[in-house]
């Protein structure tokens, strides 16, 4: 992306660059703060985009068959962020033109979900046991369903009053991470707009990771999934058998 030569300067930082997830973790709020230096005192806009690790998302339509509601035509979206928030001090459409926002991927409506084989214009989706391309209205329906589900889980958000200028040139924004936020590396992009053009962008990283026993179990489950699955099944069988014996004696 080519940026317009800067007439202002942006600095930003996070209050914390690491979030530790334990068994008592119920979410956390990270504060991003910064300053805008504009030598000509020209009005500027700050937009903060936080994107979490990508996760495949499987979604299916419900259809009624013989009185039963069954999943039909499941779609797998790849390349979708597990967490995505946009914060600004005013509506995005007042900051830049839709074309500019789309190129930068700013805003939930400009967030693209693509498979590895996808073309930017018409991303195909992998459905069921065979490859089927979904375009037009079908694609939009699936995409909107994904967004609704993520918003309900507080994993997708767009706050057009989320950036607050606390003093001349000084601003802050809060990043609310729910307990369901995925583990991994997050990227915060802080854009500086002037006269509808992006003139500067800063990147800050945030690491959300499990610690202690939770981390050991998490690493083991991802490094040896088959062994972890077998152990989990054996543990469940042993627990069920033990409970049956106890209740039989009582």
Domain residue limits, the chain: 9-210, 211-250
Measured CA to CA, the distance from residue 87 to residue 46 in angstroms comes to 8
Q: Which residue has the higher pLDDT, 235 or 170?
A: 170
Task: Calculate mean pLDDT across residues 154-179.
Answer: 90
Which single residue is written with the structure tokens 């069988």? 237
Residues 6 or more apart in contact with residue 185 via CB below 8 angstroms: 53, 205, 206, 207, 208
Q: Which of 140-149, 153-162, 215-224 has the highest average model confidence (pLDDT)?
A: 153-162
Q: Which residue has the higher pLDDT, 250 or 207?
A: 207
pLDDT classification of 232: cutoffs 50, 70, 90: low
CA-closest candidate to residue 183, choices 158, 225, 219 = 219
| Averaged pLDDT score across all residues of the chain | 78
List the alpha helices (DSSP H) in 98-224.
98-104, 136-152, 212-223
CB 131 within 8 A of CB 118: no
Name residue 35's beta-bridge partners.
11, 170
* Cα 71-72-75 angle, rounded to 5 deg: 100
pLDDT classification of 2: cutoffs 50, 70, 90: low
Which single residue is written with the structure tokens 């996808």? 118
Q: Please say if the pLDDT value at position 73 is more than 80.
A: no
Measured CA to CA, the distance from residue 246 to residue 154 in angstroms comes to 42
Task: Calculate mean pLDDT across residues 110-132.
Answer: 49
Work out whether the CA dihedral 211, 217, 223, 225 comes out positive or negative.
negative
pLDDT of residue 86: 96
Task: Calculate mean pLDDT across residues 61-73.
Answer: 67
pLDDT tens-place string over residues 129-146? 333 445 555 677 777 888
Q: For the packed helices 225-249 and 212-223, what is the interaxial angle rounded to 10 degrees? A: 120
CA 123 to chain centre: 19
Q: What is the pTM of this model?
A: 0.72
pLDDT classification of 3: cutoffs 50, 70, 90: low
Q: Please say if the pLDDT value at position 216 is more than 90.
A: no
pLDDT of residue 92: 94
pLDDT of residue 141: 77
Q: What is the DSSP letter of 15?
A: S
Q: Which residue has the higher pLDDT, 116 or 27?
A: 27
Joined together, the tokens standing for residue 120 give: 């930017």
Q: Which CATH superfamily, name and number, covers 9-210? A: Macroglobulin (MG2) domain (2.60.40.1930)
């Amino acid at each position: 992306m080519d940026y317009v030569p800067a007439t202002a300067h942006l600095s930003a930082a996070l209050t914390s660059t690491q979030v530790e997830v334990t068994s008592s973790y119920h979410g956390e709020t990270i504060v991003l703060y910064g300053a805008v230096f504009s030598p000509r005192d020209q009005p500027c806009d700050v937009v903060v985009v936080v994107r979490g690790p990508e996760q495949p998302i499987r979604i299916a339509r419900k259809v009624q068959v013989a009185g039963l509601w069954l999943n039909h035509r499941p779609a797998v979206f790849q390349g979708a962020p597990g967490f995505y928030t946009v914060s600004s001090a005013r509506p995005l459409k007042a900051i830049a033109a839709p074309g500019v926002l789309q190129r930068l991927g700013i805003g939930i409506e400009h967030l693209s979900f693509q498979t590895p084989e996808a073309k930017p214009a018409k991303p195909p989706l992998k459905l069921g046991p065979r490859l089927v391309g979904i375009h037009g209205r079908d694609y939009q329906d699936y995409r909107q369903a994904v967004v609704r589900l993520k918003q309900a889980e507080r994993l997708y958000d767009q706050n057009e009053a989320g950036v607050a200028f606390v003093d001349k040139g000084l601003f802050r924004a809060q990043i609310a991470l729910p307990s369901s936020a995925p583990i991994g590396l997050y990227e915060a992009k802080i854009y500086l707009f002037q006269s509808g053009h992006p003139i500067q962008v800063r990147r800050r990283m945030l690491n959300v990771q499990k610690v202690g026993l939770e981390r050991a179990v998490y690493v083991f489950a991802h490094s040896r999934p088959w062994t972890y699955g077998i152990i989990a099944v054996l543990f469940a069988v042993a627990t069920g058998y033990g409970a049956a014996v106890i209740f039989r004696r009582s």
